[in-house]
Amino acid sequence: MTFASFSLAESESASQADQPGGAQRATDEERRRTESAEQSAQSGQTSSKDSADQSAPTTAPSLSDPPEGWRAYLRSKKPSAAELAQKLLRLHNAGRYESVIRGIRAALIEGYSEPWMYEVLALSLQIAGHPREEIERVLLSRVDFAATDVSNVLVSAAYLTRFGAYRRALQLYRQASRLDPTRPEPYALALKLAQQEQDLDAIQWATCGIVRHVWTSDYRKWHRMAEVVCEQAARKLQADGKLEQAEEMIRAFREARQCDLLIQLHWAGDADLDLEVEEPWGTRCSVQRPRTSSGGIFVRDGYGPKSENCVEEYVCPVAVPGRYRIHVKYVSGNVVGKRARLTVIRYRGTPREMTRTHTVLLDQPDKVIQVSLKKGRRTRAADVSFRRPRRLGHRRVAGGSLIQKVGRVGAEARRAARRFREAHQSSSSRRASAVGYQPVISILTEGIGMTALAIVSGDRRYVRISVSPTFTTITDVATFSFVRSGGTNPPGGAAVPAQQPATGPTPP
Residues 304-314: tens digit of each pLDDT:
888 888 999 99
* Amino acid 450: pLDDT: 86
Are both 252 and 152 inside the same structural domain? yes
467 in a structural domain: no
pLDDT of residue 72: 83
Q: In the prediction, which pLDDT does 251 show?
A: 95
> What element of type H or E holds 128?
helix 115-128
CA distance 215 to 185: 11
pLDDT of 194 reads: 93
* One domain for residues 155 and 238: yes
71 in any annotated domain = yes
Which of 237, 256, 275 corresponds to the end of one domain?
256
Strand partners, 343: 264, 357
Say which CATH number the domain at 239 has.
Answer: 1.25.40.10
- Which residues fall within 8 angstroms of residue 96, CB to CB, at 6 or more apart? 63, 64
- Residue 269 and residue 250 share a domain: no
Decide if 40 contacts 47 (C-beta within 8 A): no
Residue 465 within any structural domain of the chain: no
242 and 271 fall within a common domain: no
The parent domain of residue 322 ranges over 259-381
Calpha distance 421→347 (Å, rounded): 38
Q: What stretches in the chain show pLDDT beneath 50?
A: 1-27, 30-31, 33-34, 36-62, 386, 388-408, 428-431, 485-508
Distance CA 271, CA 254 (A): 37
Residue 502 to residue 317: CA distance in whole angstroms: 69
Residue 29, burial from CB neighbour count under 10 angstroms (0-12, 13-18, 19+): middle
> Do 219 and 182 share a domain, yes or no?
yes
On whether both 264 and 201 belong to a single domain, the answer is no
How far apart (Å, rounded) are the C-alpha atoms in residues 281 and 295? Answer: 10
Let me know: does 375 contact 352? Beta carbons within 8 Å: yes
pLDDT on residue 345: 96
DSSP3 helix / strand / coil % (the chain, rounded to 5): 45, 20, 35
Cβ 273 vs Cβ 361: under 8 Å: no
Note whether residue 201 is domain-resident: yes
291 & 264 share domain: yes
**Looking at the structure, do residues 109 and 249 belong to the same domain, yes or no?**
yes
User: Are 274 and 200 in a shared domain?
Assistant: no
Do 280 and 321 belong together in one domain?
yes
Identify whether residues 152 and 272 lie together within a single domain.
Answer: no
pLDDT of amino acid 90 = 86
Closest by Cα among 255, 184, 177, 182 to 216: 184
Residue 244: per-residue pLDDT: 93
Tell whether 83 and 166 lie within a shared domain. yes
- Show which of 320, 350, 381 is a domain's final residue: 381
- Stated pTM of the model: 0.57
Contact status, residue 143 vs residue 159, Cβ threshold 8 Å:
no
What's the pLDDT at 274? 93
Cα distances (angstroms) measured from residue 409 to each of 105, 109, 275, 319 = 50, 51, 16, 28
Domain end residue (candidates: 327, 353, 381) = 381
**Phi then psi for 451, rounded to 5 degrees?**
-120, 140
Question: What is the domain count for the chain?
Answer: 2
pLDDT tens-place string over residues 325-342: 999 999 888 999 999 999
